[in-house]
Structure 1
């Protein structure tokens, strides 16, 4: 039993084409006006999901999980004199939320640095509007799918900045996470960075307490003392840390652990040890044989999100776990997702370390080479590479099909993971993606001047993107999942640490281990292993081979021109021949399922609310908020349709 997610459209402070307003009013449940009385926010949200306050001619709103109360938000709105002051007033807030402001006819919108909450824009009937969901704008503009963006999705988590997370429809553009959108009264718009990367200078002894404080605040935002909270307890450091922080904040936990069948699996052992130190938690252990198999429900059509999700394989399993938590009274769920991406930098930190501290850099390089089994020549090339970000990005366009030599373990090259298409991608997909990469290379700027920090930020944003998928799917399923590691304040706390102390070749997640010292059992913090579900993955593919064969016969990816029919048929008919978890196959299956979902439900669920009375589409309501011309501070109540 699910609930419809929040959605909103942000309008500039100018006259909007009557047809646009008519279409929005037919779907929306609420409207909030600019100080001028013109429509500003149109959409649907429940109490607490979006808070709007006013102070004189300023309107300020936050949507999502935010540490600021209505009174605190009002106090900050009172001090805003222009859009430039909005972020400085919100700089100490914790959570995961959109920020929307209207000041003197100018409109400001931004999502999160992590990309968990996004902003999209499109030109509609001669004007520019933006929204938190790309599908809303695609519906509003009757936009067609963009094959080039589909090709980007086939690269999975290797898609580079700024291509990752672009709008999948022609004319629908994604604002880069970390940038804000400014809408001018005259119709012009531009983006500007609202976020700046912290200096990565804090020693571990200072960075760890800061991370503990940020995580503690992030978890406390999702906890009401005495409330039942679902939580993942994998036995790893990330989810276990959240469980102990939630218990500390007063939650009654229902903690779930999956027991995979791979020989030597230790997750359940560490999870049971953790549960023994959580006396108020109810611990649920799920043997994999008692769960739906991987890839169950391939042909169950669902509401499509803004982009494909790589979480197709365990969707049925996660629904099973969520139902078990709900039956025990859980009202939301904590996920440890993002910890792997956020608390430790990728190996590219070596590039900057070698230049700042050559001796320390060489020692780390030797340690990582031994641990990762890099070839010496590859490691040397990585350390000596001086290409600019644009040059590196342009160079990747000619390597989209290049696969590493068999048996080689390559050191990371350049500014991050090289975008790579799967073997079954079509020539058209390679051409379209190559064009996007070369175009982006002409003026693209990295996320940070130092390539190690750029790669760390990009890694965190990939986690945030997936957290957005997780939030979308779990809200619809009735037990919303939260990923505290993807909160911007947590990411900032991690990025402030010295990279070579946050990740070393000789210990596992040293930053998080130091942050949780004294709270999480030492045995968990000393763990260096990580289990997998490879056996279940292979079994799921074998079990659903008929479904995959049917997909091969009428693939939507082939119809869109981004997959080669014969090569895709081969991999779908014999996926078990792929080595490892095959992320490229997961991305492909996610994209195929997403296209089928779009076909089955062309109007997104959040715009389809059966049984809700609609307003007269020809009525132009100027009354919201009814006190819009007053000068005192107040909480703005939206007009409800």
Structure 2
């Protein structure tokens, strides 16, 4: 199987409690020092996963997939004279990577704007330390689970900013994507914005070539000419685009297509058409009846990531596909995940469009109403609503557990999806999530001034968060999954586009279709349908009814106080009666599985695969007081 994923802890240029340092030395395989000689960066990584450069009093590192070579990073390091110069020195580097710097005793750390690579911090005796994984800090500090954040996970993809993606342990904070952490040698810390969204004013004729170039560079970073590369080929526009870009670079592709059983399913036909035009690709087709059923392996305990994943249902199927690719020599796998989230804005873009261009806005609103079958009154409310983000966030608390009267696609109201807890959420869960929403509403700022743009950035960051789950889980299984659509440069290229040209009621993903014109088969670019695996989903639940019944009887969510035992039992044993569809159940199952995985793996596996680096002597007695916090992040944001 594969190796443990990369991990690292970043330390300020000051003395940290010896017990913390001792634990880190016992688990880490590498260590890099500040110019002062104190430990700066400790963890475990391979040379291709972290690039490091030094120039005088400057230390600069990038961790992940980055376009900069060691020599290029060294040149950039010489341009850095303060933390304020770090981002400008990195210039147009692209990929998906952390940035870590030490300059004159000051430390700088940031992840990606997408949230695929994140940063967490906590206070220990002697200072604030940070890491790329919340579980690393939770293990170091013996932190307890945060029940409120666990309750937020039951809202699934409806969790709004800033609740989505918060750390699940008390005392551990997440650095919001797009912000960087600054650690001072005196013990203070703060966060500051390093990323600003592009203006969003490029017409399609200019934006499409920019997106094509960004995707081309993102794929090329993960491909070596002649190397065997696994790739999903679903039949949709996203995965097909990546396959043709990889073939353009010279990859030897092994593509995988799932063939669902629903009548009229078209995925396999589009995938087959694309495969016939891919040069030298080996195309694997997997009928769903020949794969492990959905929800297979519910009781197989695995090392959990930083938070629950909703990908529980097809985990066994994806492992089967990965093994088939590995058997044919694939060393990594490309996924089209994120394409749905980043290449087109949500329908709420019409709210801002109406104010900039009233006639165009009304035309788009009418087109969306006809396509989505929205009620006229709901569209009018959507267009006329002028509530601030904080006001909308506070108002959502009154409908946290309100079930929809009927299944209809509603016009988007406010700044995003209504946060929604499932019917089996406990009264305590409702209270906890409500408290977090009200606290955030008091001072938090939206991700953008315009609500449609805010929603677009938020859904891109949700895609990045899921991509981080995929990367962590698959790295240990030997075939790491990469999601190029979640690279920051790709997201920037999309956000630079006029929203009314990146999405229209009259075409599907017009920005990506224009970007891939002449490379991807026209038949795929003109596709407007999207298939599903509902038959397999229902079959999997029926087949694993016994395991689900056992989960209901000994639910960790119930024991944590965030789920009602009887209502959860009914949902697990009668999923056909669900009112909110599959998403609400999958979020709950993912959270239940995650709690069980934590029980089975109290120590993160990534901390147990490596030996210790050369020991360093403790330089001074521990500092007993915790450092003061100077936090510039939005007040009221959850930890």
TM range (shorter): over 0.9
* Ranges in structure 1 where 5+ consecutive residues have no aligned partner: 623-641
| Matched residue, 1:248 | 248
Deviations along 1:583-624, one digit per CA (max 9) or x if unpaired, are 010000000000000001100101112xx55468784499xx
* Alpha carbons 2:28, 2:613 under 8 Å: kept: no
Q: 1:40 to 1:616 in 2, by over 3 A?
A: closer
| Matched residue, 2:480 | 480
Residue 401 (structure 1) shift: 1.2
| Matched residue, 1:4 | 4
| Segment of structure 1 superposing worse, 88-97 or 333-342 | 88-97
Alpha-carbon separation, structure 1, partners of 2:475 and 2:411: 39
1:313-392 pair list within 5 angstroms = 313-392=313-392
1:475-514 pair list within 5 angstroms = 475-514=475-514
Alpha-carbon separation, structure 1, partners of 2:334 and 2:408: 38
* Alpha carbons 1:295, 1:541 under 8 Å: kept: yes
* Alpha carbons 1:257, 1:268 under 8 Å: kept: yes
| Matched residue, 2:237 | 237
Deviations along 1:185-205, one digit per CA (max 9) or x if unpaired, are 111100011000100100000
| Matched residue, 2:598 | 598
| Matched residue, 2:75 | 75
Alpha-carbon separation, structure 2, partners of 1:464 and 1:540: 28
Alpha-carbon separation, structure 2, partners of 1:433 and 1:507: 38
| Matched residue, 2:630 | none
| Matched residue, 1:267 | 267
Deviations along 1:106-130, one digit per CA (max 9) or x if unpaired, are 0000000000000000011242100
Residue 402 (structure 1) shift: 2.0
Residue 78 of structure 2: SS of its match in structure 1?
helix
Q: 1:55 to 1:616 in 2, by over 3 A?
A: closer
Alpha-carbon separation, structure 2, partners of 1:80 and 1:620: 29
Alpha-carbon separation, structure 2, partners of 1:616 and 1:192: 34
Q: Does 1:53 align with 2:53?
A: yes
| Matched residue, 2:309 | 309
Residue 529 of structure 1: SS of its match in structure 2?
coil
| Matched residue, 1:634 | none
| Matched residue, 2:21 | 21
Q: TM-score, normalised by structure 2?
A: 0.96
Residue 474 (structure 1) shift: 0.7
Residue 84 (structure 1) shift: 0.6
Residue 2 (structure 1) shift: 2.0
Residue 459 (structure 1) shift: 0.5
Q: 1:524 to 1:370 in 2, by over 3 A?
A: same
Alpha-carbon separation, structure 2, partners of 1:514 and 1:581: 33
Q: Does 1:397 align with 2:423?
A: no
| Matched residue, 1:187 | 187
Alpha-carbon separation, structure 2, partners of 1:156 and 1:178: 22
* Alpha carbons 1:534, 1:580 under 8 Å: kept: no
Q: 1:613 to 1:181 in 2, by over 3 A?
A: closer
Deviations along 1:135-186, one digit per CA (max 9) or x if unpaired, are 0000011000000000110000111111111100000111101100000111
Residue 470 of structure 1: SS of its match in structure 2?
helix
Residue 283 (structure 1) shift: 0.2
* Ranges in structure 2 where 5+ consecutive residues have no aligned partner: 621-639
Alpha-carbon separation, structure 2, partners of 1:409 and 1:432: 28
Q: Does 1:533 align with 2:539?
A: no
1:383-462 pair list within 5 angstroms = 383-462=383-462
Q: Does 1:568 align with 2:568?
A: yes
Alpha-carbon separation, structure 2, partners of 1:158 and 1:580: 12
* Alpha carbons 1:124, 1:140 under 8 Å: kept: no
Residue 458 (structure 1) shift: 0.2
* Alpha carbons 2:200, 2:498 under 8 Å: kept: yes
Residue 160 of structure 1: SS of its match in structure 2?
coil
Residue 279 (structure 1) shift: 2.6
* Alpha carbons 2:2, 2:475 under 8 Å: kept: yes
| Matched residue, 1:522 | 522
Deviations along 1:206-227, one digit per CA (max 9) or x if unpaired, are 0000000000000000000000
* Alpha carbons 1:537, 1:581 under 8 Å: kept: no
Deviations along 1:439-474, one digit per CA (max 9) or x if unpaired, are 001110011111111000001001001000100111
Q: 1:422 to 1:281 in 2, by over 3 A?
A: same
Residue 581 (structure 1) shift: 4.8
| Matched residue, 1:587 | 587
Q: 1:261 to 1:580 in 2, by over 3 A?
A: farther
* Alpha carbons 2:247, 2:279 under 8 Å: kept: no
* Alpha carbons 2:424, 2:567 under 8 Å: kept: yes
Alpha-carbon separation, structure 1, partners of 2:614 and 2:13: 22
Alpha-carbon separation, structure 1, partners of 2:319 and 2:99: 31
Deviations along 1:304-356, one digit per CA (max 9) or x if unpaired, are 10000000000000000000000000000000000000001000100000000
* Alpha carbons 2:31, 2:613 under 8 Å: kept: no
Residue 430 (structure 1) shift: 0.4
| Matched residue, 1:96 | 96
Q: Does 1:553 align with 2:553?
A: yes
Alpha-carbon separation, structure 2, partners of 1:493 and 1:427: 43
Alpha-carbon separation, structure 2, partners of 1:424 and 1:519: 48
| Matched residue, 2:543 | 543
Residue 289 of structure 1: SS of its match in structure 2?
helix
Alpha-carbon separation, structure 2, partners of 1:220 and 1:233: 18
Residue 40 of structure 2: SS of its match in structure 1?
strand
Residue 476 (structure 1) shift: 1.1
Alpha-carbon separation, structure 1, partners of 2:35 and 2:264: 63
| Matched residue, 2:87 | 87
Residue 97 of structure 2: SS of its match in structure 1?
strand
Alpha-carbon separation, structure 1, partners of 2:311 and 2:54: 40
Residue 512 of structure 1: SS of its match in structure 2?
helix
Residue 199 of structure 2: SS of its match in structure 1?
coil
| Segment of structure 1 superposing worse, 123-132 or 244-253 | 123-132
Alpha-carbon separation, structure 2, partners of 1:91 and 1:450: 27
Aligned CA RMSD, in angstroms, stands at 1.2
Residue 403 (structure 1) shift: 2.7
Residue 71 of structure 1: SS of its match in structure 2?
helix
Residue 250 of structure 2: SS of its match in structure 1?
coil
Residue 399 of structure 2: SS of its match in structure 1?
coil
Aligned length: 620
* Alpha carbons 2:27, 2:611 under 8 Å: kept: no
Alpha-carbon separation, structure 2, partners of 1:474 and 1:97: 17
Residue 397 of structure 1: SS of its match in structure 2?
helix
